[in-house]
Amino acid sequence: MAPANKGLSETGDPLLLTPGPLTTSKSVKAAMLHDWGSRDAAFLRLNREVLEWLPAIVCANGKYAAVPMQGSGTFAVEAMLTSFVPPSGKCLVLINGAYGKRAKRILDIARRTSVVYETAEDTPPDVAEVERILEADRAITHVFAVQCETTSGILNPIGAIAELERKFPVDVLVDAMSAFGALELDAPFLRIKAVAASSNKCIEGVPGLGFAICEPTALEACAGNATTLVLDLHDQWVNTNKTGQYRFTPPIHVIAAFHQALSEFRAEGGVAGRGGRYARNARVLIDGMRGLGFKTLLPDDLQAPIIVTFHMPKHPRFVFQTFYDKLKDRGYVIYPGKLTVADSFRIGCIGRLNEGHMRDTVANVAEVLAEMGVELTHAR
Ligand SMILES: Cc1ncc(COP(=O)(O)O)c(C=O)c1O
């Protein structure tokens, strides 16, 4: 049999099967091969288009405002939480992984009152329990949820959680980081007040820009809430509206690449096209890995097509570091697990990857297992 294909991006790099930063297209990287001044009309046009295009991805075209925030995704989440939750507010944080926990930390550091409803990393929040918590504690003003908790790859029931806003006077804030652009989210219909995401996940840009897509009346009401100068979403919004420019140096090359990535995203058919490709990637990966005897953490109905967590095989010759290194040598970069519930590793399905790449990944995994002398008994 012919040896499995080596993993190679368009620019000859190993393929990143990770939660991001991800493998990007050559044209996205090429968009950075220029210099612009931060007040240059050409750059300001790119930036304006980026901000105009983003709300449509959560069905809020012309209805919500996209507010950029220099930095990684966490900068956008922190800006969203500390700008939207006022000193007098109380935020219910839904946790089933590292990013829910991080939100709680952000609120603690900002001295915002919060309560937590935590479920295991392989368990979505029970919406009836969320309702009971809101019923019992009328001081709660905000609910924070993560759409796809990348720690495990689990899909949380954002729609059902957001619907509780119709019964209780709470504002819903969503960390959509790893789902944005791949999974449907109708923010205006669900009356979500803000959605945070970043440039380097499913839109397939490079890292360096976070953003929050916000309902304008709610954003208006954030004036004066911020706990830092830099992460003040309201101030950033007012200033961008007034001048078209950033308050502080923008990551110009990142924004130019993001503009190109968004053009490619739109050409692929937006959320339906991008999400469809990732769903096919996930199917090939999961079926292939199960065929080799690996077990997924999550059942298919809880699995988002973003990143898949596999249980670490219990085989005396399976050493994760060796497995990882051998795959890396073949051009496939996988990701260690981040779970507390089980020993695991993860393989991402997002970025400039297609079904062929996923089939090649599985073929290389099979060869590496053979090299390591590991034979797994067949999973489901
Ligand atoms: C759901 C979620 N939230 C927040 C983050 C944090 O983003 P960053 O690492 O870019 O700060 C990530 C990163 O993977 C994520 O997946």
pLDDT tens readout for residues 212-251:
999 999 999 999 999 999 999 999 999 999 999 999 999 9
Confidence band, pLDDT 50/70/90 cuts, at residue 379? very low
pLDDT of residue 380: 43
Q: How far is the CA of 306 from the centre of ligand 1 (A)?
A: 13
End-to-end Cα separation, the chain, in angstroms: 26
Eight-state DSSP code of residue 228 = S
- Give the ligand 1 atom nearest the CA of 72: 10
Q: Is residue 1's pLDDT more than 90?
A: no
150 C-alpha vs ligand 1 centroid, how far in Å? 8
Structure letter (DSSP) for residue 298: S
Whether the full predicted model's pTM is greater than 0.75, yes or no, is yes
Q: Report the C-alpha gap between 330 and 8 in whole angstroms.
A: 9
| Secondary structure (3-state) at 117 | strand
Cβ atoms of 352 and 25 closer than 8 Å = yes
Tell me the pLDDT band of 378, cut-offs 50, 70 and 90: low
CB distance 146 to ligand 1 below 6 Å = yes
Determine whether the shortest distance from the Cβ of 199 to ligand 1 is under 6 A: no
Provide, rounded to the nearest whole percent, the portion of the chain with pLDDT above 70: 99
175 CB less than 6 Å from ligand 1? yes
Please work out whether the CB of residue 151 comes within 6 Å of at least one atom of ligand 1: no
Higher pLDDT, 114 or 339: 114
Distance CA 273, CA 269 (A): 4
Top-confidence residue, 377 or 31? 31
156-213: per-residue pLDDT in tens?
999 999 999 999 999 999 999 999 999 999 999 999 999 999 999 999 999 999 999 9
- Helical (H) or strand (E) element with 114: strand 113-118
Ligand 1 centroid to 200 CA: how many Å? 10
CB 147 within 8 A of CB 235: no
Distance of alpha carbon 355 from alpha carbon 277, whole angstroms:
8
Answer whether 74 contacts ligand 1 (Cβ < 6 A).
yes
* CA dist list (Å): 196 to 120, 147, 216, 316: 23, 10, 15, 43
Conformation bin of residue 23: beta by default, left when phi > 0, alpha when psi is -120 to 50: beta
Match 């308050």 to its residue by tokens.
Answer: 247
Q: Which residue has the higher pLDDT, 53 or 336?
A: 53
Q: What's the CA gap between 141 and 369, in Å, rounded?
A: 51
342: confidence class by pLDDT, cuts 50, 70, 90: confident
Ligand 1 neighbour 260 (Cβ under 6 A): no
Measured by CA distance, the residue closest to atom 15 of ligand 1 is: 177
CA distance 118 to 266: 36
Beta strands, E only, the chain: 15-16, 65-70, 90-95, 113-118, 142-146, 148-149, 154-155, 171-175, 194-198, 209-214, 307-311, 332-333, 335-336, 344-348
Establish whether residue 77 lines the binding site of ligand 1, counting it when its CB lies within 6 angstroms of any ligand atom: yes
